[in-house]
């Protein structure tokens, strides 16, 4: 008899535990220890419980209640909170005194960062890491890395945890977010929360909700064509090949360690890569949707590399605009500050790279947006430039000047604001052009003029206040102007804050086709 009772009791205990788990009161993963709540706004709090269960949330002297719906989902909002570095507890209580508690909660400003590898890139890969690591004692800067993957349907729960900034863990923080947040913390003096939801190598269409793309005529047809052209991957075959590759990797890693050499990169499952890179809206479903409607100060975006081929780049202006508009709508704030990093200089054949930059420039037409121009701080041979300190600083100048209304030298580098043609002169007016100059004191680099024959010739310019008066001895009757319209241009035009001018053009001519693969990435002369 005893041998029979033990399994029975085990089953009963398991059933009881399962029942308890199913009835647990839960908060989203982003509501976890060491988090930062947004100040000066009504704070969204939500979670899951039993159907129709009464829930109360207590924090900072407030107590708010909500009732779960038939599916068990509940939500409420706390009244706006003042910034506070005090470590406090947030508690959600349901029936029978069931509780979900979050400890060490601060109140400050929360920024969400998304995109591909240059947003995902950790501080450990930035320049002067050892120096940055030693100085990274900022307990009031907190970082949440969203660890979910792509999904075919909208997901409710995220993955990840909050970490307070210390020398031991700063290496894993998004470098772009960290250096941005550090400047905000220093200048504004409040706790800063940084939510990093980014994945390397991913196109923008993975980050936009599928229904948004399907209903926009300028996107749907082209995106379907791209999807149809994607290589098809057999999941079972890919899995088997991945298992073999992992074993080879383990052996190679062990050998490299024994020889004192750098370990090889770990393999990837081809099916996972295909899903990540080709699934419309997959990363929105899996990594963005679970964070809605967590209350934010603003959003930052660093992506575009994966969309910078000639065939895809022309869509980017529609895609970025759709992403910004849709994300704002989902967060319920049409004026939510949103800024991005314009693609830096990098050696890439064709005009896809400049076209994505142009799309980013055009998207500034949306209100409450900004752009960090990085045309001078890239690396021609490295798609992951190490100077993320300056990227973060330039984003912070935009935020400090426009979002926080602080006095800064400039919130952007010079931007084109209009042009006119008078005889042999093209006169360009620039905004953000106080103290317009060249960084080296020499002639302006990167200018080209073309006539009706569309043949581009080198040009020069005089600076007249916020205007450039551009001429070329080889173009008597110019019809179009380009500035820094190359993948990896030489530039030196800056404003009083030493921020570089954005690449731009006045024409809308079709891109010059990229050279054949045999050209091995060398840019075609224009």
Evaluate whether residue 476 is within a structural domain: yes
> Where are the strands (E) in 403-466, listed by range?
415-422, 425-431, 437-438, 447-450, 456-458, 460-464
Q: Decide: 403 and 369 in contact? Cβ < 8 Å.
A: no
Q: Decide which of 4 and 129 is more confident.
A: 129
Q: Of 341, 353, 328, give the one whose Cα is nearest residue 301.
A: 341
Evaluate whether residue 228 is within a structural domain: yes
> Average pLDDT in the 160-164 region?
98
Reply yes or no on whether the pLDDT at 168 is more than 50: yes
Secondary structure, 3-state, 73-124: EEEEEECCCCCEEEEEEEEEECHHHCEEEEEEEEEEEEEEEEECHHHHCEHH
pLDDT band at 3 (very low <50, low <70, confident <90, very high): very low
Evaluate whether residue 458 is within a structural domain: yes
Domain count, the chain: 2
Reply yes or no on whether the pLDDT at 255 is more than 70: yes
467: enclosing H helix or E strand? strand 467-471
Domain range for 245: 224-279
Residues 19, 5: Cα–Cα separation, whole Å: 21
The dihedral built from the CA positions of residue 152, 157, 160 and 162, taken in this order, carries a sign that is positive
Secondary structure, 3-state, 157-175: CCCCCEEEECCCCHHHCEH
Read off the pLDDT of residues 417-467 as tens digits, 9 standing for 90 and up.
999 999 999 999 999 999 999 999 999 999 999 999 999 999 999 999 999
The proportion of the chain whose per-residue pLDDT surpasses 90, expressed as a percent, equals 77
pLDDT of residue 107: 98
Burial of residue 333 (CB within 10 Å: 0-12, 13-18, 19+) is middle
Evaluate whether residue 513 is within a structural domain: yes
DSSP character string of 237-249: HHHHHHHHHHHHH
pLDDT of residue 271: 62
Evaluate whether residue 60 is within a structural domain: no
pLDDT band at 350 (very low <50, low <70, confident <90, very high): confident
Read off the pLDDT of residues 122-149 as tens digits, 9 standing for 90 and up.
999 999 999 999 999 999 999 999 999 9
Q: Of 239, 257, 279, which one is at a domain's C-terminal end?
A: 279
Reply yes or no on whether the pLDDT at 22 is more than 70: no
pLDDT band at 522 (very low <50, low <70, confident <90, very high): very low
Reply yes or no on whether the pLDDT at 57 is more than 80: yes
Beta pairing class for 493-494 and 437-438:
antiparallel
Evaluate whether residue 490 is within a structural domain: yes
> Average pLDDT in the 157-174 region?
97
Evaluate whether residue 90 is within a structural domain: no
The model carries a pTM of 0.87
Mutual orientation of helices 270-278 and 235-258 as an angle, nearest 10°?
110
Q: Of 262, 279, 296, which one is at a domain's C-terminal end?
A: 279
pLDDT of residue 209: 95
pLDDT of residue 273: 59
Evaluate whether residue 432 is within a structural domain: yes
Q: Which residues pair with 165 in a beta bridge?
A: 138
Read off the pLDDT of residues 297-318 as tens digits, 9 standing for 90 and up.
999 999 999 999 887 898 999 9
Read off the pLDDT of residues 462-511 as tens digits, 9 standing for 90 and up.
999 999 999 999 999 999 999 999 999 999 999 999 999 999 999 999 87
Q: Decide which of 393 and 310 is more confident.
A: 393
Q: Of 446, 438, 369, 372, give the one whose Cα is nearest residue 410.
A: 372
pLDDT band at 227 (very low <50, low <70, confident <90, very high): low
Reply yes or no on whether the pLDDT at 234 is more than 80: no
Cα 198 to Cα 183, 370, 485, distances in angstroms: 21, 19, 28
> Average pLDDT in the 40-45 region?
98
For the beta carbon of residue 361, count every other beta carbon within 10 angstroms. 19
Reply yes or no on whether the pLDDT at 170 is more than 80: yes
Q: Of 261, 279, 297, which one is at a domain's C-terminal end?
A: 279
pLDDT of residue 310: 82
For the beta carbon of residue 298, count every other beta carbon within 10 angstroms. 22
353: enclosing H helix or E strand? helix 352-362
Kindly report the average pLDDT of the chain as a whole number. Answer: 90
pLDDT band at 512 (very low <50, low <70, confident <90, very high): low
> Average pLDDT in the 183-195 region?
98
pLDDT band at 276 (very low <50, low <70, confident <90, very high): low
pLDDT of residue 231: 63
pLDDT of residue 185: 98
Residue 505 sits in a domain whose CATH number is 2.60.40
> Average pLDDT in the 153-170 region?
97
The proportion of the chain whose per-residue pLDDT surpasses 70, expressed as a percent, equals 89
The dihedral built from the CA positions of residue 356, 357, 363 and 365, taken in this order, carries a sign that is negative
Mutual orientation of helices 316-331 and 352-362 as an angle, nearest 10°?
40
> Average pLDDT in the 238-254 region?
85
pLDDT of residue 280: 85
């Amino acid at each position: 008899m005893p041998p029979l009772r033990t399994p029975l009791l085990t089953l009963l205990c398991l059933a009881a535990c399962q029942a308890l788990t199913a009835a647990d009161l839960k908060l989203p993963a982003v509501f976890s220890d060491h988090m930062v709540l947004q100040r000066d706004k009504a704070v969204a709090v939500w979670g899951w419980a039993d159907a129709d269960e009464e829930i109360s949330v207590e924090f900072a002297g407030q107590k708010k209640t909500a009732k779960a719906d038939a599916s068990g989902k509940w939500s409420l909002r706390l009244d706006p909170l003042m910034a506070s570095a005090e470590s406090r507890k947030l508690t959600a209580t349901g029936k029978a005194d069931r509780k979900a508690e979050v400890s060490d909660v601060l109140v400050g400003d929360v920024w969400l960062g998304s995109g591909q590898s240059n947003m995902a890139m950790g501080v450990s890969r930035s320049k002067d890491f050892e120096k940055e690591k030693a100085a990274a004692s900022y307990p009031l800067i907190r970082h949440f890395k969203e660890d979910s993957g792509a999904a075919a349907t909208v997901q409710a729960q995220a993955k990840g945890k909050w970490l307070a900034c210390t020398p031991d863990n700063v290496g894993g923080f998004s470098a772009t977010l960290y250096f941005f947040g550090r400047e905000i913390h220093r200048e504004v003096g409040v706790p800063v929360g940084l939510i990093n939801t980014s994945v390397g190598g991913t196109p923008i269409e993975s980050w936009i909700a599928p229904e948004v793309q399907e209903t926009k005529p300028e996107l749907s047809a082209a995106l379907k064509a791209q999807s149809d052209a994607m290589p098809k991957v057999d999941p079972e075959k890919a899995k088997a090949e991945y298992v073999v590759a992992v074993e080879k990797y383990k052996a190679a890693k062990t050998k490299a360690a024994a020889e004192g050499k750098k370990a090889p990169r770990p393999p990837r499952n081809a099916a996972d890569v295909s899903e990540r890179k080709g699934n419309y809206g997959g990363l929105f479903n899996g990594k963005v949707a679970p964070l809605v409607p967590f209350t934010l100060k603003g959003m930052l975006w660093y992506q575009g590399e994966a969309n910078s081929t000639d065939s895809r780049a022309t869509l980017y202006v529609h895609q970025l605009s759709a992403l910004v508009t849709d994300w704002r709508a989902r967060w319920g704030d049409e004026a939510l500050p949103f800024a991005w990093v314009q693609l830096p200089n990098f050696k890439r054949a064709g005009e896809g790279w400049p076209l994505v930059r142009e799309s980013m420039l055009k998207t500034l037409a949306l209100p409450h947006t900004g752009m960090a121009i990085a045309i001078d701080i890239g690396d021609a041979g490295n798609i992951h430039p190490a100077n993320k300190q300056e990227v973060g600083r330039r984003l912070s100048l935009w935020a400090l000047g426009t979002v926080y209304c602080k006095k800064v030298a400039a919130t952007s580098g010079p931007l084109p604001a209009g042009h006119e043609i008078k005889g042999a002169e093209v006169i360009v007016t620039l905004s953000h052009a106080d103290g317009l100059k060249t960084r080296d004191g020499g002639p302006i680099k990167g200018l080209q003029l073309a006539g009706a024959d569309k043949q581009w010739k080198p040009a020069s310019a005089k600076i007249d206040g916020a205007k450039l008066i551009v001429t070329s001895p080889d173009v008597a009757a110019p019809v179009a102007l380009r500035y820094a319209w190359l993948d990896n241009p030489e530039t030196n035009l800056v404003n009083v804050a030493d921020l570089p001018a954005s690449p731009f053009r006045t024409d809308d001519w079709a891109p010059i086709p990229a050279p054949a693969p045999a050209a091995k990435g060398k840019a075609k002369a224009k």
